Amino acid sequence: MNPIASRILVGAVVAVSLVLGGCARKPEKELQDARNAIKELEDAGAPQYITDDWNRINASLKEAETKIEEKKYKEARELLLKIVEEANSLKSKAEEAKRKAEEEAKRQQELQQQQQQAPEAATPTAPAQPQQ
């Protein structure tokens, strides 16, 4: 191969490499990771116990999906990584809120049982009347 053709070929390979390397890839793995983290958050009780946080993180996921549709992959990837991080930190918050709610429900149930038993104990029984 002559030196000029060789330089042109090398230049073309370098140019193609730069163009392909510069293109951001669709953040499919990050999207799946975010969806998995949100599913775990749901399983931890987030929709019921930390509703505002749950709604906010789902809105962020929808925003990331929109960015993917718009081919703004870098922005979407950054947002998806934040979602995973936030979901992981919110998971313990949801679990704690669920635990507290269950403890409160148990306490209320015990209190209700005590209140039902108290009137029974306070009701005097009539003394037996002697038979004549």
Q: pLDDT digit string (tens) for 88-110? A: 999 999 999 999 999 999 999 99
Residues 57, 38 contacting (CB under 8 angstroms): yes
In a domain, 41, yes or no: yes
Q: Which of 103, 90, 101, 102 is nearest to 44 (CA)?
A: 90
Residue 59 Rama label (left phi>0; alpha psi -120 to 50; beta): alpha
Residue 95 lies in a domain: yes
- The structural domain count of the chain equals 1
Chain segment 43-64, per-residue pLDDT in tens: 999 999 999 999 999 999 999 9
Q: Is 84 part of any domain?
A: yes
Structure tokens at 131: 């038979």
Q: Which domain holds residue 90?
A: 25-99
- Domain-embedded: residue 19: no
The answer to whether the CB of 63 falls within 8 A of the CB of 47 is no
